[in-house]
């Protein structure tokens, strides 16, 4: 494959589609598929033939607005239809070239206008299993530029210049990580893509892998060139069968096109990728645990240093980045580091994909520039809390994160700002809670998660999470005491400071942040034996507490 050949594929693919007057894109991400959008696509295709329209019906990845699925996007008009049923196919096809079908139109301009799509630029526009669709939208151009015009050091320089930070949650500077692996001595090095999206309530990685898998493969190949690796692994959850099957198909196509394998693009660069399935262990999102799992062992973390960059998979220098981090690489190489660094806030550059869910009108996937106010995400893009309820908190970072109260909605979303208020950026789960959610119960929910997911290797995490869970259960039962609360706070700091890995070190975060902002709810449970939201199963009888009359 040469640059000319790549350009030729892109042009002929574009020319092929240009023959059609219309393109009907049918979302076949997991959300819409669960509402049978696959059948809808077939019906639409039959309808196009029956009505003799010159239109192309395409399967695409996620369009983001899962709540309004199944979604259909008609190009070039850019008309978005929501809740499309098979019985609507006739009307939709009939309307092509004329007035759009008003009752199906999705008019959420503000939902889309506030977003900036880099990672999701192809989602909903290409068929994820057609490599030529990806190439037609500048796919693999970045890999060719890197291989033929840049040195590995030049690639790393560009990534450093972009000031991209790891999107898995930690926010470690990607360029710095790459250069550490590049400098590490050793013939054999590995690149691993962390797709073990264990945070319950997050589905960014899944969506990227389902909607635009080639982008991740291209990012990995560029990374491998930069650090000097020739073998890569994508570690993906077995719970994501669609992502696995699309990724498998894409790897096969990339090999066929000579974009993976030996002597890629007639250069000495060799690279290939294998898929490794996770098996349902949250702790495997931690890099050393993930490596143990790829090696076929129990996913238990080990102390660092040595960091995987020096001694990782099978003791070799290993680069581990998250799916979304790799998805950012190709655009940075194509458009330059400065371009990327011009988007976002002072210390957090680019965009972030969030899975916006919970008590919010427009649930789904959104991509926003860093630094955007949380309020804008919730109110403008998300459409606010439905059914007349009021917003109580926004949870970010999953079991490692915290709850942000409604009065802090005006902070800008960045790694540092979220950290400063006791939460974290995390991988991108953003769960909105309204007045029907009990914050103590939420803390208990996350603690149960961490307790079950603790690998058991270190005592603070293994016992600490279990003890904290017991205390939280007592409080939600109405049998807790103020001493319990004190003990809980004490345990939080012990577990945070003494656990071996990130799971344990961050497990107390949901408790700490709810204690910080919603302490009154804890007190209400303990002292007045009441759950303000009416969620907790208060067991204890209401004791006749003697109230001293004023």
Q: Is 365 in the site for other proteins (CB under 8 A)?
A: yes
Q: Is 398 in the site for other proteins (CB under 8 A)?
A: yes
Biggest CA–CA distance in the chain, Å, is: 88
Closest separation between CB of residue 431 and other proteins, Å?
Answer: 5
Q: Is 532 in the site for other proteins (CB under 8 A)?
A: no
Q: Is 279 in the site for other proteins (CB under 8 A)?
A: yes
Which listed residue (30, 60, 325, 328) binds other proteins by CB under 8 A?
A: 30
- How many angstroms separate the CA atoms of 245 and 266, rounded? 29
- How many angstroms separate the CA atoms of 329 and 221, rounded? 10
- How many angstroms separate the CA atoms of 137 and 407, rounded? 42
Q: Given the rule CB under 8 A, which of 101-109, 154-162, 352-360, 376-384 is the region that contacts other proteins?
A: 352-360
Beta strands in 347-468 (DSSP E): 351-358, 364-369, 391-396, 402-405, 429-434
Evaluate whether 429 touches 398 at the Cβ level (below 8 Å): yes
- How many angstroms separate the CA atoms of 498 and 503, rounded? 11
Which C-beta is closer to other proteins: that of 139 or that of 398? 398
Closest separation between CB of residue 64 and other proteins, Å?
Answer: 9
Bridge partner residues of 56 (DSSP): 23
Q: Is 297 in the site for other proteins (CB under 8 A)?
A: yes
Q: Is 363 in the site for other proteins (CB under 8 A)?
A: yes
Q: 192 to 251, contacts with other proteins by CB under 8 A?
A: 197-203, 206, 237-240
Closest separation between CB of residue 419 and other proteins, Å?
Answer: 20
Which C-beta is closer to other proteins: that of 358 or that of 405? 358
Which C-beta is closer to other proteins: that of 150 or that of 458? 458
Q: How many residues bind other proteins (CB under 8 A)?
A: 51
> Of 190, 238, 236, which is closest to residue 213 (Cα–Cα)?
236
Alpha-carbon distance values, 67 to 36, 64, 271, 308, 376 (Å)? 14, 9, 39, 39, 19
Given phi > 0 = left and psi -120 to 50 = alpha, else beta, which region is 360? beta
Closest separation between CB of residue 476 and other proteins, Å?
Answer: 12
Which C-beta is closer to other proteins: that of 225 or that of 354? 354
Q: 87 to 146, contacts with other proteins by CB under 8 A?
A: none
Evaluate whether 212 touches 123 at the Cβ level (below 8 Å): yes
In a 3-state reduction of DSSP, which class is residue 178? helix
Q: Is 316 in the site for other proteins (CB under 8 A)?
A: no
Which listed residue (295, 346, 416, 486) binds other proteins by CB under 8 A?
A: 295
- How many angstroms separate the CA atoms of 309 and 178, rounded? 8
Which C-beta is closer to other proteins: that of 396 or that of 499? 396
Q: 44 to 83, contacts with other proteins by CB under 8 A?
A: 66-67, 69
Q: 467 to 496, contacts with other proteins by CB under 8 A?
A: none
Given CA atoms 204, 215, 383, 517 in this order, what sign does their dihedral have?
positive
Which C-beta is closer to other proteins: that of 201 or that of 384? 201
Dump the DSSP string for 281-296.
-GGGGSHHHHHHHHTT
Which C-beta is closer to other proteins: that of 381 or that of 485? 381
Closest separation between CB of residue 293 and other proteins, Å?
Answer: 7
Q: Given the rule CB under 8 A, which of 8-16, 219-227, 271-279, 318-326 is the region that contacts other proteins?
A: 271-279
Q: 407 to 466, contacts with other proteins by CB under 8 A?
A: 429, 431, 433, 437, 445-446, 449, 455
Bridge partner residues of 373 (DSSP): 412
In a 3-state reduction of DSSP, which class is residue 166? coil
Q: Given the rule CB under 8 A, which of 72-80, 261-269, 363-371, 495-503 is the region that contacts other proteins?
A: 363-371
Retrieve residue 300's tokens.
Answer: 């238990």
> Of 349, 412, 428, which is closest to residue 376 (Cα–Cα)?
412
Report the relative pairing of strands 318-322 and 402-405 from DSSP bridges.
unpaired
Closest separation between CB of residue 528 and other proteins, Å?
Answer: 23
Residues of the shown chain interacting with other proteins in the complex, contacts defined by CB under 8 A: 30-31, 33-35, 66-67, 69, 197-203, 206, 237-240, 276-282, 293-299, 355, 357-359, 363-365, 395, 398, 429, 431, 433, 437, 445-446, 449, 455
């Amino acid at each position: 494959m040469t640059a000319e050949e790549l350009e030729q594929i892109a042009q002929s693919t574009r020319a092929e589609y240009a023959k059609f007057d219309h393109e009907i894109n049918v979302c076949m991400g997991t959300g819409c598929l669960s509402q049978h959008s696959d059948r809808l696509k077939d019906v639409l295709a039959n309808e196009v033939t029956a009505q003799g329209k010159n239109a192309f019906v395409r399967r695409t990845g996620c369009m983001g607005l899962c709540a309004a699925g199944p979604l259909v996007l008609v190009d070039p008009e850019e008309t978005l239809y929501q809740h499309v049923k098979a019985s609507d196919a006739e009307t939709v096809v009939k309307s092509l070239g004329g007035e759009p079908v008003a009752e199906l139109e999705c008019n959420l301009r503000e939902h889309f206008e506030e977003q900036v799509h880099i990672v999701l630029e192809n989602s909903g526009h290409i068929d994820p299993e057609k490599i030529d669709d990806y190439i037609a939208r500048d796919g693999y151009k970045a890999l060719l530029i890197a291989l033929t015009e840049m040195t590995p050091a030049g690639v790393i320089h560009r990534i450093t210049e972009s000031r991209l930070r790891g999107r898995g949650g930690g926010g470690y500077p990607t360029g710095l990580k790459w250069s550490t692996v590049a400098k590490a001595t050793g013939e054999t090095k590995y690149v691993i893509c962390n797709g073990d999206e264990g945070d319950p309530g997050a589905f960014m990685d899944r969506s990227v892998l389902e909607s635009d898998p080639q982008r991740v493969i291209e990012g990995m190949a560029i990374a491998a060139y930069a650090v000097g690796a020739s073998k890569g692994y994508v570690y993906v959850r077995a719970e994501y069968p669609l992502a696995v099957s699309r990724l498998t198909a894409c790897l096969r196509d990339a090999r066929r096109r000579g974009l993976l394998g030996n002597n890629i693009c007639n250069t000495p660069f060799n690279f290939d990728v294998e898929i490794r399935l996770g098996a349902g262990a949250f702790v495997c999102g931690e890099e050393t645990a993930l490596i143990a799992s790829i090696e076929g062992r129990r996913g238990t973390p080990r102390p660092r240093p040595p960091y995987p960059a020096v001694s990782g998979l099978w003791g070799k220098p290993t680069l581990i980045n998250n799916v979304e981090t790799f998805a950012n690489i190709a655009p940075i190489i194509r458009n330059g580091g400065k371009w990327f660094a011009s988007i976002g806030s002072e210390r957090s550059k680019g965009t972030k994909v969030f899975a916006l869910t919970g008590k919010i009108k427009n649930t789904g996937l959104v991509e926003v520039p860093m630094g955007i106010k949380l309020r804008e995400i919730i109110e403008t893009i998300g459409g606010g809390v439905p059914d007349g309820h009021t917003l109580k908190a926004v949870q970010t970072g999953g079991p490692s994160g915290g709850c942000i109260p409604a009065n802090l909605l005006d902070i800008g979303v960045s790694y540092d700002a979220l950290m400063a208020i006791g939460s974290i950026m995390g991988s991108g789960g953003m769960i909105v809670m309204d007045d029907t959610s009990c914050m103590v119960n939420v803390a208990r929910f996350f603690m149960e998660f961490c307790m079950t997911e603790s690998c058991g290797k270190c005592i603070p995490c293994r016992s600490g999470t279990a003890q904290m869970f017991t205390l939280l259960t007592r409080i939600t039962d109405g049998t807790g005491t103020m001493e319990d609360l004190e003990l809980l706070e004490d345990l939080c700091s012990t577990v945070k400071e003494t656990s071996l890995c990130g799971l344990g070190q961050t497990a107390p975060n949901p408790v700490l942040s709810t204690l910080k902002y919603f302490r009154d709810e804890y007190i209400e449970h303990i002292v007045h034996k009441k759950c303000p939201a009416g969620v907790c199963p208060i067991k204890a009888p209401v004791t006749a507490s003697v109230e001293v009359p004023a």
